Amino acid sequence: MVSLEDVYHVAKLSKIEVNEDEARKFRDEFEKILEYFNLLDEAPESEPMYHVLELINVFREDSPKICLTQNEALMNTRHKEEGYFKGPKVME
């Protein structure tokens, strides 16, 4: 029911590299777990419930507040240059 292709596909969607052994293991596990999830097919129809609360219209005013300093923003990474974050190259 769940193929290796499915595992590789979802790994690509999630940007997590998996090797062949891992892919196989996940496939076997997913098979079992998804089969358990199929239990839901027996549940009666209903409206979906996105939120447990009935809250609506929660807003904030359009007033500026103090933000982080550039240092604080860049503090947790070593990939930085002249105030920018550094990222890997973008063209494939």
Q: Which residues bind another protein (CB under 8 A)?
A: 6-7, 10-18, 26, 29-30, 32-34, 36-37, 39-53, 55-65, 67-70, 72-79, 81-92
CB 16 within 8 A of CB 26: no
CB of 25 to another protein, least distance (A): 9
Cα atoms found within 13 Å of the Cα of residue 18, Cβ hemisphere only: 21
Which one, 20 or 39, has the nearer CB to another protein? Answer: 39
For residue 27, the SS3 value is helix
Neighbours of 73 (CB within 10 A): 13
CB of 5 to another protein, least distance (A): 12
Which one, 20 or 59, has the nearer CB to another protein? Answer: 59
Q: Cα-atom radius of gyration of the chain, to the nearest Å?
A: 23
CB of 24 to another protein, least distance (A): 13
